[in-house]
Each structure stands twice: as C-alpha cells, then as structure tokens.
Structure 1
Amino acid sequence: MNQTKIVVYGTQWCGDCHAATKFLDQHQVSYEWIDISNNFQAQKYVKHVNNGMQRVPTIVFQDGSLLVEPSSSKLLEKLRALSLLV
C-alpha cells in the first residue's frame, strides 16, 4: 500500500466524504481521516482554506495542493498527476 501522506477532512454524515474515502481505499492510497464534526481546529482550517466556508471533503495532498468536494474523475486525475496509484 502507498504510504504517501494525504489528509481527508470530512464528517461522518457526508456522502461525498464516504465516496472519496471509498475511492482512495479501492485504489489502495493511504490517507489520514480527520472528522471535523467535533474538532474545532480542523473546522477552522477547513474554513480557512475554503474562503470561510465549511466544505467537505477537503483533501490535502503531500505537495500542499487541495481538492474540495472532488468528483471521482478529478480525484483520479490528481492521484495520477502525483504518481500515487499502484
């Protein structure tokens, strides 16, 4: 499994968050999950990087780039660009 550092900020009730993490799991891409529901610092970060809006999933890649509420095709494109697919 790929050990590259990806952080997924989301909530348990977010369908798009579940879709994104399922996609990463299916492609054997490791990530850290941070549930922002009860994590003030994580909520603050997500709002900061999304111009004051709490948008999830917000996915942060090792190069510092972000994807916010990505489609599967956008997520696949990003993983390929970073050579993260096995």
Structure 2
Amino acid sequence: MNEASDDVITLYSAPWCGHCHRLKAQLGRAGVSYREIDVDTAPDATERIAALNGGAWLIPTVILPDGSALINPSVGEIISRI
C-alpha cells in the first residue's frame, strides 16, 4: 500500500478510539487534508501499523507525505512536518 501521496497524510484510526476522534477534529479545524484507514475494516492495517510501531499497533498512527510515521501526534507536530 502506498500511503504517501502529495501533501495528504494517512491516518490509521478506529471508530472507538478517542485519541483518533480528537486528532481528526483538530486536523479538520486546521484545514489539514488526510486519508483515513479504519484499522477494524482494512485488510492488513494492524500488521502495517505494528511494523511502523515496533510491534505494537498503536493508533492514531499518521503516515506523512515523506513516508515517515508519527504515533499519537499532536496536530502541531503534524503541521510542522508537512
């Protein structure tokens, strides 16, 4: 899966994740576009984020346009990196 695309970030999240809801709301208020992948329904999503997070499947995990990953970042961290 190619997650990096132009200036759009990829956000791995789940409907039951409070941190994910918070981050999505903050991204919306900041006008930051993102592609969302629901870890509960996307094939291989948990394996992908586990590979990025040293074996743990932590969400929200954000893949930046340069291919690097941030785990449970603040919106400020994301903006400073894109």
TM-score > 0.5, shorter chain as reference: yes
TM range (shorter): 0.7 to 0.9
Two-structure CA RMSD over aligned residues (Å): 1.5
**Could you tell me the TM-score, scaled by structure 2's length?**
0.83
TM-score by length of 1: 0.80
Return the index of the structure with the highest Cα Rg: 1
2:44 paired residue number: 41
Name structure 1 gaps, 5 residues minimum. Answer: none
Distance 2:50 2:80 in 1: 27
The percentage of aligned residue pairs carrying the same residue is 32
Give the equivalent residue in structure 1 for 2:72: 69
Aligned residues: 77
Q: Could you list the runs of 4 or more consecutive aligned residues of structure 1 that deviate by over 3 angstroms after TM superposition?
A: none
Can you list the C-alpha shifts for 1:41-80, whole angstroms capped at 9, x where unaligned? 111101111111110000001011211012x3xx313313
Unaligned runs of 5+ in 2: 1-5
Q: Which residue of 1 aligns with 2:3?
A: none
